[in-house]
């Protein structure tokens, strides 16, 4: 059975209730949460699987929404809905990661056979690595692959060069902004502006990939 959620707030309505909440109106906070539940459902739907129902993720995502409303400030450059979407997704991803770790820790220690002396051995015995380290390594490699792909998709050649040499990407040596400026023949302040813009573009693309 489908659940009907309240209509999202317009930008004007959102600002109105944020101002009221920041003035101490707790009822406004309740409205900000309720009118963003459709957003929770939208994000939750993308992560629904056989092992996790949509209801599970709506419950988890709602926690992220409440955190977003509690920590949001009208001084932020982004709208509450944009900020909340990130908080909701982060809460769901943390839950998934925690669940995967637990499952992996169980399965990786299950007996998979016997050694030559008749002793049970597990996958963990063969790998010789802590389960957490394996999961973290896989997650890190996946994130790096997404980032490298995003570098080519959204950055200009100059933006890409600045980030590669600033952060030691693709086997380069990390450098200071001054060193990058000297390497590229531009000013340090220009490097700073390029770096900031490139990081924002990269962050937005990686976030979009996680929410599509």
Q: pLDDT tens for residues 146-199?
A: 667 777 888 898 998 998 888 777 777 888 889 999 999 999 999 999 988 888
pLDDT category at 73 given cuts 50, 70, 90 is: confident
d(CA 36, CA 143): 28
Domains defined for the chain, CATH in brackets: 1-107 (1.10.1740.10), 125-212 (1.10.10.10)
Q: Is the pLDDT of residue 28 over 90?
A: yes
pLDDT category at 128 given cuts 50, 70, 90 is: very low
Give the global pTM. Answer: 0.47
């Amino acid at each position: 059975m489908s659940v009907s959620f309240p209509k999202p707030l317009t930008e004007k309505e959102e600002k109105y209730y944020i101002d009221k909440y920041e003035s101490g109106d707790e009822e406004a906070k309740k409205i900000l949460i309720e009118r963003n539940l459709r957003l929770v459902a939208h994000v939750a739907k993308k992560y629904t699987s056989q092992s996790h129902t949509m209801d599970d993720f709506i419950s988890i995502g709602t926690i992220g929404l409440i955190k977003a409303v509690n920590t949001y400030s009208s001084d932020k450059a982004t709208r509450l809905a944009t900020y909340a979407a990130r908080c909701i997704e982060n809460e769901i991803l943390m839950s998934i990661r925690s669940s995967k770790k637990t499952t992996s820790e169980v399965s990786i220690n299950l007996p998979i056979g016997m050694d030559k002396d008749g002793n049970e051995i597990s996958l963990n015995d063969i790998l010789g690595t802590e389960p957490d380290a394996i999961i973290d390594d896989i997650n890190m490699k996946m994130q790096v692959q997404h980032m490298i792909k995003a570098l080519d998709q959204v950055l200009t050649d100059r933006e890409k060069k600045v980030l590669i040499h600033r952060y030691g990407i693709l086997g380069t040596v990390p450098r200071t902004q001054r060193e990058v400026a000297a390497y590229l023949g531009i000013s340090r302040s220009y490097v700073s502006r390029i770096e900031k813009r490139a990081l924002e573009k990269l962050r937005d693309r990686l976030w979009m990939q996680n929410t599509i």
